[in-house]
């Protein structure tokens, strides 16, 4: 009976976590739709308006790195509720101001709150998993719901604007959902974080983890992946602007198609990684993503309009798996800290990847093809990393040992 109650409690925690990730994605992934409105509202150029993407990403990166250890020190539940509470309060402030600097400041604070929340939530996945394999499956489902939120957010903003409602009310909706989730989370009993080491839990101990070769390897892989992914939803719409070929329907809905394929692929991935060798799955998917990008830069816009949206299906499983295995390679007592490090490199890739693509494109006469050549280089490096991981499988022994010691 007690075992059944435990599994029911775990399922409740999982559902709440899924909804939390979906809610956050509604705001972070709607920025691409918000930026054109802000440019018109405040008469901004693309560089200034682009700060609404880069600044929150940097804030998430710093929030994860500098506060990741909090999830290990205070516990997952407290850290999650702190992040949610800051985000909820911050979201309601959108309705009382009306300047670009004001909105940008709120997005930065929101980014820090997301960083705090994510370290607690990502660490929690280890606490409610019975093996490192289940950890990866759950991570794919979590990111699947995040991908659903990435569809809902832009849709709501588009509908708001079409009906004369200001975009900032998206944050009020998210803040309200946040309060509901805080109340529900407060009523649920979360598992205690078992401390398996006497090492101090602080920022210094977090930074010292970056000496671990596994931490460095997964961090680089996360950076490369996100740099590739962000090239799609930051620059693909610009690349295919003006396309008038036979695939005009796909071109019109290229970004939604990408997001839908990414979301569906992650839910499917939760099943796939639980049944097949994750190193092989990762390598095959990285190969397919690389081929999509190579075809896009060599075949021109007529090919890119098909291959880039399709890459969403192949990208889907890559990031959750990298994130999961990177976290699972350390004891549960350190999951908050390692989640913070991976989040730092994730957000850094989201900020620096598109920025570098824009700079390269400007250097070659504002031709975005060259920016996508850089993204293709990132995809090639990601594939090489996955091949080395498949051949040498360096994490096999460590994951096996942790399965026995941490997931009894």
pLDDT tens digit sequence for 24-57: 999 988 888 888 888 889 998 777 888 888 899 9
Range of lowest pLDDT (255-259, 322-326, 383-387): 255-259
> The whole model's pTM is what?
0.90
Number of neighbours of residue 373 by Cβ within 10 angstroms? 19
The whole-angstrom separation of Cα 394 and Cα 321 is 15
**385 confidence band (pLDDT: 50, 70, 90):** very high
Q: Among residues of the chain, what percentage have pLDDT more than 90?
A: 68
Instruction: List the domains of the chain with CATH numbers.
Output: 2-189+198-406 (1.20.1250.20)
**Confidence (pLDDT) at 196:** 57
Q: Is residue 303 within 8 Å of residue 295, measured between CB atoms?
A: yes
**Confidence (pLDDT) at 7:** 57
**Averaged pLDDT, 274-303:** 96
Nearest to 282 by CA among 372, 290, 343: 290
Residue 2, pLDDT > 50, answer no
**5 confidence band (pLDDT: 50, 70, 90):** very low
Q: Is residue 276 within 8 Å of residue 140, measured between CB atoms?
A: no
**Confidence (pLDDT) at 194:** 67
**Averaged pLDDT, 176-186:** 96
Give Cβ neighbours of residue 357 (< 8 Å, ≥ 6 apart): 231, 234, 235, 368, 371, 372, 374, 375
User: How confident is the model over 297-345, as pLDDT tens digits?
Assistant: 999 999 999 999 999 999 999 999 999 999 999 989 899 999 999 999 9
**Confidence (pLDDT) at 8:** 62
Measured between alpha carbons, how far apart are the two ends of the chain, in Å?
Answer: 19
Residue 70, pLDDT > 50, answer yes
Residue 206, pLDDT > 90, answer no
Q: Among residues of the chain, what percentage have pLDDT more than 70?
A: 96
């Amino acid at each position: 009976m007690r075992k059944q109650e435990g599994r029911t409690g775990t399922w409740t925690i999982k559902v709440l976590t899924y909804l939390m990730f979906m809610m956050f994605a509604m705001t972070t992934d709607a920025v691409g739709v918000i930026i054109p409105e802000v440019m018109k509202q405040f008469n901004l150029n693309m560089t200034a308006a682009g700060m609404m993407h880069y600044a929150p990403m940097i804030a998430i990166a710093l929030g994860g790195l500098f506060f990741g250890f909090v999830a290990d020190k205070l516990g997952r539940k407290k850290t999650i509720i702190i992040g949610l509470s800051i985000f909820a309060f911050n979201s309601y402030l959108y309705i009382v101001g009306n300047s670009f600097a004001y909105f940008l400041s709120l997005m930065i604070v929101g980014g820090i709150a997301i960083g705090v929340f994510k370290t607690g939530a990502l660490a929690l996945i280890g606490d409610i998993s019975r093996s490192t394999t289940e950890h990866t499956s759950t991570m794919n489902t979590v990111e699947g719901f995040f991908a659903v939120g990435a569809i809902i957010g832009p849709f709501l903003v588009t509908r708001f604007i079409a009906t004369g409602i200001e975009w900032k009310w998206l944050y009020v909706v998210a803040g309200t959902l946040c309060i509901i989730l805080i109340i529900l989370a407060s009523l649920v009993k979360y598992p205690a974080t078992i401390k398996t080491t006497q090492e101090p839990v602080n920022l210094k101990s977090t930074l010292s983890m970056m000496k671990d070769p596994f931490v460095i390897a997964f961090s680089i892989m996360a950076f490369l992946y996100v740099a590739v992914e962000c090239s799609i939803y930051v620059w693909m719409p610009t690349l295919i602007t003006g396309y008038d070929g036979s695939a005009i329907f796909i071109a019109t809905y290229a970004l939604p198609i990408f997001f839908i394929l990414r979301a569906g692929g992650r839910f499917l991935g939760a099943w796939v990684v639980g049944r097949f060798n994750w190193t092989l799955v990762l390598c095959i998917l990285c190969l397919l993503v690389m081929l999509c990008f190579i075809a896009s830069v060599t075949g021109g816009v007529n090919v890119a309009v098909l291959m880039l949206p399709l890459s969403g299906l192949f990208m889907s499983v890559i990031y959750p798996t990298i994130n999961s295995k990177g976290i699972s390679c350390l004891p549960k007592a350190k999951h908050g800290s390692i989640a913070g490090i991976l989040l730092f490199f994730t957000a850094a890739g989201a900020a620096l990847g598109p920025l570098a693509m824009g700079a390269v494109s400007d250097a070659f006469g504002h031709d975005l093809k060259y920016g996508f050549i850089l993204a293709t280089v990132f995809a090639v490096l990601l594939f090489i990393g996955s091949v080395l991981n498949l051949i040498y499988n360096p994490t096999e022994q460590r994951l096996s040992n942790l399965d026995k010691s941490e997931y009894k």
